[in-house]
Structure 1
Amino acid sequence: MPERTQEFGKYGARGAKGSELVGRKLDDLAGYFATPVTAPRGLMARLHYLTRTANARNAARAAGLTVTDRTLKAWLDGKRSPSARNLQKIEAVYRTVRRHNVAAHLLKRLNRAGRGTRVEIHPLNQSGVSRPQQRVVPFRDMNVRRWDAIVAAWAAGDAAGLDTAWTDHVLPDLGSEYGAYEYCTAIGFAA
């Protein structure tokens, strides 16, 4: 990759890895419950989502929810409440199962039968970089037609795979200076 960033932020630039921003945007599109798991309403919503069918229960168990059926029933009935550790586990399992459930739908919407989705890439923030070290990195937009690897890595929770899919397979379409867009302030797209 040309101009691959080795020490991001050394001269005062700010931003985040583009793949992380894409993952955050996909999380937004997944439509998670807004109420936190620590609130009774949020906990019940997540538990109902994870236990409403046999397939949902199996997916939750595969994702790491290892409590007994008796404990789950006590939580659902309000007779007991989960520990802080179990609340974190419930949130992680819920997000994993939700990602898996919406991945196929998101992929279809993003690919749009081969037409792809328009993506805006806002370059890194160089306001903290002294003038001699600044480089010209303009705002870019592009049409991404290959979302399969990106959505698959996101659904699996594979940050390294998502970074590879974004950096090595999508950014080169920007041209010879695509390495300058490894870190960005924002990436926007809708599906």
Structure 2
Amino acid sequence: MPEKNLDFGKFGARGIKGSHAVARKLDELAGGIATPVTVKRGWLARLHYLTKSGRSRQAAKEAGLTVTDRTLKAWLEGKRSPSKANLARIDAAYRAVRRQNVARHLLKRLNRDGRGTRVEIHPLDQSQVPRPLQRVVEYRTMNVRRWDRIVGSWAAGDYQGLDAAWDDTIIDLGSQWGQYEYVTNVGFAA
């Protein structure tokens, strides 16, 4: 049933892909620097995070932050400021490295030694859909015991893999699992 919603929203339904809601929640759980990258304090904090070790510097380069050591030193000393394009690269590299660093910890917390984590799935918003065309879709909960593929795909930035992993997970909802391809929110705590 997933991917059958080729014209999602045609009659006024609103929502996002379930896997995107999961990625958004994992980003929220990963935490990080709250100050925006456009503020000096924000980009300096991200640069310090990306340059605190050789391993994190290498991960930042792999994530797309490819500037010379001289430029990086000038930024860290406050002699120069990054351009808008470089600010975007700094933020993207920070998010990628942060995901890699917290993935193992999140995975352990979500799996909870095989007990799993309770997930709340809030259905799509049908308030704008004409009454005769509305489907009966309700709030659902389920316990997800295996987060390995979901967290692994999220940490790698592989959204197609995350989508496939999430679809394989929601099959446990039974015959109605395809109705939860699009949702308003997916909630869980770790």
Question: Structures share a fold, TM > 0.5?
Answer: yes
Q: Distance in 1 between matches of 2:11 and 2:144?
A: 31
Long gaps (5+) in structure 1:
none
Trace 1:1-191 onto structure 2 (pairs within 5 A): 1=1, 4-167=4-167, 169-191=168-190
Task: Give, in angstroms, the shift of residue 56 of structure 1.
Answer: 1.2
Q: In structure 2, the residue corresponding to 1:72 is in which secondary structure?
A: helix
Task: Give, in angstroms, the shift of residue 88 of structure 1.
Answer: 0.4
Task: Give, in angstroms, the shift of residue 159 of structure 1.
Answer: 1.1
Q: TM-score, normalised by structure 2?
A: 0.97
Q: State the Cα deviation string for residues 139-176 of structure 1 (Å, max 9, x = none).
A: 10000011111001100111111111101x11100000
Q: Distance in 2 between matches of 1:47 and 1:33?
A: 11
User: Matched residue pairs, number?
Assistant: 190
Task: Give, in angstroms, the shift of residue 4 of structure 1.
Answer: 3.2
8 A Cα contact 1:2 1:177, kept in partner: no
Runs of 4+ in 1 over 2 A off after TM superposition: 1-4
Long gaps (5+) in structure 2:
none
Aligned-residue Cα RMSD (Å) equals: 1.1
Q: State the Cα deviation string for residues 102-126 of structure 1 (Å, max 9, x = none).
A: 0000000000010000000010011
Q: In structure 2, the residue corresponding to 1:138 is in which secondary structure?
A: coil
Q: Distance in 2 between matches of 1:173 and 1:157?
A: 25
Question: What letter corresponds to residue 102 of structure 1 in structure 2?
Answer: V
8 A Cα contact 2:119 2:187, kept in partner: yes
Q: TM-score, normalised by structure 1?
A: 0.97
Q: Distance in 1 between matches of 2:2 and 2:118?
A: 24
Question: What letter corresponds to residue 68 of structure 2 in structure 1?
Answer: T
Q: Distance in 2 between matches of 1:126 and 1:179?
A: 16
Task: Give, in angstroms, the shift of residue 54 of structure 1.
Answer: 1.3
Q: In structure 2, the residue corresponding to 1:24 is in which secondary structure?
A: helix
Q: Distance in 2 between matches of 1:154 and 1:3?
A: 20
8 A Cα contact 2:2 2:181, kept in partner: no
Tell which deviates more after alignment, 108-117 or 61-70.
Answer: 61-70
Q: Distance in 2 between matches of 1:3 and 1:19?
A: 13
Question: What letter corresponds to residue 150 of structure 1 in structure 2?
Answer: I
Q: In structure 2, the residue corresponding to 1:170 is in which secondary structure?
A: helix
Question: What letter corresponds to residue 73 of structure 2 in structure 1?
Answer: K
Q: In structure 2, the residue corresponding to 1:6 is in which secondary structure?
A: coil
